[in-house]
A and B are shown apart, each in its own frame.
Chain A
Amino acid sequence: MSSIARRQAVQPQGASVREQLKAMDDSGVVTAFLGGEERAFSELVERYQTRLLNFIYRTIGDREKAEDLVQEVFIRVYRHLHRFDRSKKFSTWAYTIASNLAKNELRNRSRNPLVLFQTVQKNWQDDDRPLQFEDTNSRPDDMYRKRHLREIVEESVAKLPEHHRNVFILRELEGKSYEEIAEITDCNLGTVKSRLNRARNSFAEIVAPYME
């Protein structure tokens, strides 16, 4: 009897289930999913798919692979959500999975130069594609300058050592706190601060010549 009541409490009823899920925080959505509400998983996907894609893409620099890895993150979340410690933040857990997958991808690339070559080739092909992010109302020289600047920034991030880059992206792009970054990267707080400080200075140093 009490289990049914609990289930009803966590499982929103009626046509506005999606709206109710949208109004919930992550913890509530996770509880709803574990209570049998399958639509709660779609809500989690919607909340995190773009954020995770950007995080992984900035870390590994390959958009197609980044999408594959984001999907892998969600598959792992789906499979292991019942094991997730609900006293912790869902986002930290999801980013930890994403961070580990990105790290593995970079490790595999360093072991297999062919993959690296394919990635480089893919990036060349990307250059031939029509621009997606620039404001189409801008003048052509402005568009070129912006695109050039974007490439420089992306290349500069890619030049950072992997463990610095990871911390840098989590902080500057995802806005994570030092404590969350420590948990995601499995480092202590001091290491996170030190890496972040070095990453900021190195990044500024790499970008500086292009900004003058």
Chain B
Amino acid sequence: MDCRAFRENHLAFVDDTLSGIELVGMQMHLNECDGCARQDVSVRRSLMLFRNLPAVELSPDFSVRLQQRLHEAKMADQVALQSGRTRKFAAAVGLTSVVMLGYIGVSLRRVDYPQDITLPPVVATAVAPGGVMSSPAPEMVASVPAGLPIWTAALFAEQAPVHFASIDLTTTAR
């Protein structure tokens, strides 16, 4: 075994994880090479020093502080959970509102509004000069006592459109 192979296997050699043959090879090299033997001793001694460092102890109030911090963390988690729920609820309400408004908007667009209102033409007849109502004809006068009201109704019906159209026209003119 050469120095390079020794260095490559040194980690496993120190950790005692080499196979029997490799271990023998390493030990033989140690007996032959002073440089590698010195390095091996140096590493082992330094590791021994490090492994024997006194353990650091916890300060007396460590547990109290930890309990306090855990309590704070729990409270913070609860607050976060609650605010998260509130946020979710607000988001759900917002989303529902948006959906409803959208639905209403779409529904309104579907309604067919008449673009132009077309009405039948208004026909106005001018009132005959000489008064709104003409004097009853002699036939009508004669028919009343005779019990023939049909003639009167027929005459009034004939004159009625003229009369109403006249009123409308007068109102519009004002």
Contacts and interface: CB of A to CB of B under 8 A. Distances in A.
B73 A79 contact: yes
Which one of B11, B63, B77 has the highest number of Cβ atoms from chain A below 10 Å of its Cβ? Answer: B11
Interface string B35-69: 00001001101110111011111110011011001
Contacts of A172: 47, 50-51
Contacts of B75: none
A31 interface: no
Given A196-B11, A200-B14, A67 B51 contact: no
- Give the contact-size bracket for chain A: 35 or more
Classify the interface of chain B: helix, strand, loop or mixed: helix
Contacts of A75: 69-70, 73
A66 B56 contact: yes
B10 interface: yes
A128 to B, nearest CB: 17
Classify the interface of chain A: helix, strand, loop or mixed: helix
A172 B46 CA distance: 11
B63 to A, nearest CB: 8
Interface in A73-109: 74-75, 78-79
B42 A50 contact: no
Nearest to A55: B56
Contacts of A49: 58, 62
Contact of A153 (B14, B49, B59): B49
12 contacts: A45-B63, A45-B66, A53-B58, A58-B53, A63-B56, A67-B65, A70-B58, A75-B73, A79-B77, A172-B51, A204-B47, A208-B46
Interface of A: 45, 49-50, 53-54, 57-58, 63, 66-67, 70-71, 74-75, 78-79, 132-133, 149-150, 153-154, 156-157, 172-173, 193, 196-197, 200-201, 203-205, 207-208, 211
Interface of B: 10-11, 14, 39, 42-43, 45-47, 49-51, 53-59, 62-63, 65-66, 69-70, 73, 77
Given A75-B70, A172-B50, 11 more contacts: A53-B58, A54-B55, A67-B59, A71-B66, A153-B50, A153-B53, A156-B46, A172-B47, A172-B51, A203-B47, A205-B42
